[in-house]
Amino acid sequence: MERPNWHALAVTDVLGRLKTDFTSGLTADEVGRRLSENGKNILSPPIKTPAWRRFLAQFENPLVIILLISATASAFAGRTTDAAVIVAVTIVNAVIGFIQEMKAQGAIDALAKMVRTECKVIRSGNKAIRIDAEELVAGDIVLLASGDQVPADLRLIESKNLLINESALTGESLPSEKNIEIVDEAAAVGDRKNLGFSGSLVIGGSGRGVVVETGDSTEMGKINALMQSTEDLNTPLMDRLEVFSKVFGLWVVGFGVLIFVIGTYRGGTKTDMFMAAVSAAVGAIPEGLPAVMTIVLAIGVKNMAARKAIIRKLPAVETLGSVTVICSDKTGTLTANEMTVQRVITTSAGYTADGIGFNPSLGKLHGPDDQDLASDPDLQRLLKGAILCNDSHLVYKPHGVEVEGDPTEGALLTVACKAGCNTDELRRTFYRLDVKPFDSALQIMSSLNHETDGSSTLWVKGSSEKILQMCDRQALGAKILPLDIKAVLAQVEELAGHGMRVLAFALLPMGDAKIIPDSFSPMIFLGLQAMIDPPRSEVRSSLEICKRAGIEVKMITGDHLATAMAIASDLGIGSPGVPGVEGRELAAGTPEQLSERAERSAVFARVAPEHKFKLVETLQRRHHVVAMTGDGVNDAPALKRADIGVAMGFSGTEVAKEASDMILVDDNFATLVRAVEEGRNVFNNLVKSMVYILPTNTAQGLVILFAVLFGLKELPVTPVQVLWVNLLTAFLSLPLAFEAMESGLMDNKPRHPSQPLIESSLVWRIVTVAILMTFVSFLIFWYETDVMGSKIAVARTSVVATMVAVELFYLFSARGLWAPMPGIEPTLNPVIWPCVLATVAAQLAFTYVPLFQNIMGSTPMDLEAWAIILAASAGVIPLIETLKRWTAPKVFAEVDELSPADD
């Protein structure tokens, strides 16, 4: 059944449709019937992948499948040691991957927790009872008071100055002033003033509402459904690795088949040639690469944690380096989420306030020529009115200052304190006689206060339009002059043009009145106060770095378009002359229009959760790698859909954190920029590891291929020895994970999503090292067997030592993708020398320790053999350094050194 537009129906129509009563509510029998029919007021839990399935998924990689087939073939051929070693390596890699996936968490559990609360309802008569919110049904009459969490979606049927904070749902920084009037059907969620939404918070006034939607049917339920229907996307790294695995897997299979065919054609037995093919496959597969990449990513996680960025999903480390667009929530992310008065305009002068937030000690109010604020009667009168016509309080706590009441009123008290006013003393001296709370229809609040001479004064604050309609005079010092409305309107227009919210103030002497009359004579205008949710102090420089790095920032908010455009213009977001887009335009446009707007515009206002989701999805279809920052419930689906979701740690809701890939502990946009830089460095180090590991695998396959082609009776290496070389190569690649950042990382555009994992110039480097290793290995094998007449065990041991020696020398050149080896500071990497020494010790044990000799088929070598091997292997350094100079991209041509990461 189609869901009614509850906000567009009159109260009587809503009550009639739900068959409930304003004063008595539902009967117990009716509640029971509706509960059994519609279920409890809870969100549907997610379907989770069982642990066993996640573990088995680790074996779905094509390269892993080939390894398992090779192990099975080795076992059938009687090579049980080879088979056991291959299986052991495969299982270890699978366990590492499984442990990382176990860290994944669900966002929907946090959503469900948010709706588990108690509420006060009227049932079976006019008596109010408190129940678990899970037991609510459509038609229940719910009572709301300050401090309550709205337990379900309500159509308000009574409102007394009701204020509800919906910022986590709508992105609106100001509380929503609620009423019971009918709203247009097309109104956005943030404009439905007659509805209370599940999970939002009552911060002032009281009210009564009838439950219209529960559980999955609420606005929060829609978010839940979006999140459940959102698939976790592969990161760019995962996509590239998947392509690499398939291509490399096909190459390995083809290579093994080629060896088998050539070998049998040249007269070799099928058994021998099959084992040769298995050896080539095992040698060609970089089985240690997944573990090495996991370690590289884990080190990136550790580095980011030190920079106050917590990574929840391991591949997200690298994804940051690929980001092309950041979709950033305005409230609390780009702005401080603390209303702050910045301009105070009296009838005689203008004042500017600095500092952000509600702590008066963090700023001051500055007047023209730094005049004494206490000596300006117009300013003192205006500030006095803002203090007395105010229901809120500043609460000083150990961690800072909080507002008890409306944030707008808190901002007025804060600026008064910055000017030196004692708010408590003023309120005691000029105590209140009567008050009319803020009325959203009238757009004013009125307070009647006692004066020291026994008279009373009426203080009024409200919208500039309403206050100006009520005034015909203005106070200027001790004089009362005619009001210059045009001048005031010009000031209002100028302030509003900067995205500020403007409040006006007025007073009227009331003689001995004790109550506020229904009507009174024209008032005396006092002045204006303009406030804004200001940008964070560190945001500007971070945005500038993003521009330099080729990353576009798009501001997405539930706020009004004019306010959003003003903030964006102030921060330099977007291109001059390009208009912003409202959420209703996103919903009404064609896919082509949405695509064009998503690419062209940088400001998106009045955006609902489904609009954010659609926007991120559209950008991804345009081949962008999208990061979404946010802190509210409304951000969760888009956070999950984005290539990387970035939640705020301090101000973020649990829902946003659970849906994210990364959490910024300090809510600092600058931390995100540093994380992007670290992500780019992680990708560099991942590529270094692959460019370092793959030549060994390629060379081992080529050695076996040429042995078959040349008709050698014995292979130069056995499958177990192949795995030994692969193990040491993977271990030697670990120092590359600790390499410092190459200079200029944030001066280049992001990698294009279609760019291959290893570019062509690096492929040629892999091939060059592999050919060198193959040539030197055959040279040593020939020297030992044909020249020296050594046994096959000695020759094989020498070949293994040659491959390890080439990798040892190559490591020092591989530390920089393009930076020449002499420019790389050796002390910047703390683990390179321990790894080198450990590898040397392991290779000596392989050669001389009996246990290793029995398992690996190795044998001792003399010093002459070592000298020849080291001399032949050292040639890799000048060869690769020359190749770097010839093939370095222009953007890296001038990079001749590595610089340490900034602390």
- Which positions are annotated as active-site residues? 329
Distance of CA 474 to the CA centre of its chain: 51
Please give the angle made by the CA atoms of 52, 56 and 62, to the nearest 5 degrees. Answer: 170
Chain mean position to CA 688: 26
DSSP 847-882: HH-HHHHHHH------HHHHHHHHHHHTTHHHHHHH
Contact residues for 718 (Cβ-Cβ < 8 A; gap 6+): 82, 279, 796, 857
Q: Closest Cα to residue 86, out of 103, 69, 109?
A: 69
C-beta atoms surrounding 714 within 10 Å: 14
The number of CA neighbours under 13 Å toward the Cβ of 651 is: 23
Q: How far apart are CA 734 and CA 551, in angstroms?
A: 30
Q: Are 561 and 606 in contact (CB under 8 A)?
A: yes
> If 0-12 CB within 10 Å is exposed, 13-18 middle and 19+ buried, where does residue 21 land?
middle
d(C-alpha 227, C-alpha 612), whole Å: 12
Give the integer Cα–Cα distance in Å for 810 and 803. Answer: 11
β partners of residue 891: none
Query: Which residue has tokens 């968490």?
Result: 105
What's the sign of the alpha-carbon dihedral 59, 63, 65, 70?
Answer: negative
Which residues lie across from 508 on neighbouring strands? 458
Q: Is 503 helix (H, G, I), strand (E, B) or coil?
A: strand
In this structure, the number of other CB atoms found within 10 A of the CB of residue 39 comes to 14
Q: What are phi and psi of 461, to 5 degrees?
A: -130, 155
Residues 699-709: b if buried by 16+ CB within 10 A, e if exposed = bbbbbbbbbbe
> Helices 669-709 and 539-548, interaxial angle, to 10°?
30
Residue whose token pair is 């959102």: 230
Strands (E), 440-560: 444-450, 456-463, 471-476, 479-482, 501-509, 523-532, 552-556
Beta bridge partners of 444: 439, 462
- For 634, the token pair is 């409304």
Q: Which stretches of 353-483 are DSSP H helices?
A: 377-388, 407-418, 423-429, 464-470
Cα(143)–Cα(150) distance, integer angstroms: 10
Tokens of 277: 């093919």
User: Could you tell me the two tokens for 687?
Assistant: 């590529």
Of the CA atoms within 13 Å of residue 177, those in its CB half-sphere come to: 12
Cβ count within 10 A of residue 522: 13
**d(C-alpha 537, C-alpha 743), whole Å:** 26
What is the rounded CA–CA span in Å between residue 156 and residue 210?
6
Q: Are 213 and 136 in contact (CB under 8 A)?
A: no
The amino acid at residue 856 is M
Q: Tell me, what amino acid is at 896?
A: D
CB atoms within 10 A of CB 228: 18
Residue 51 identity (one-letter amino acid): A
User: Furthest-apart CA pair in the chain: how many Å?
Assistant: 122
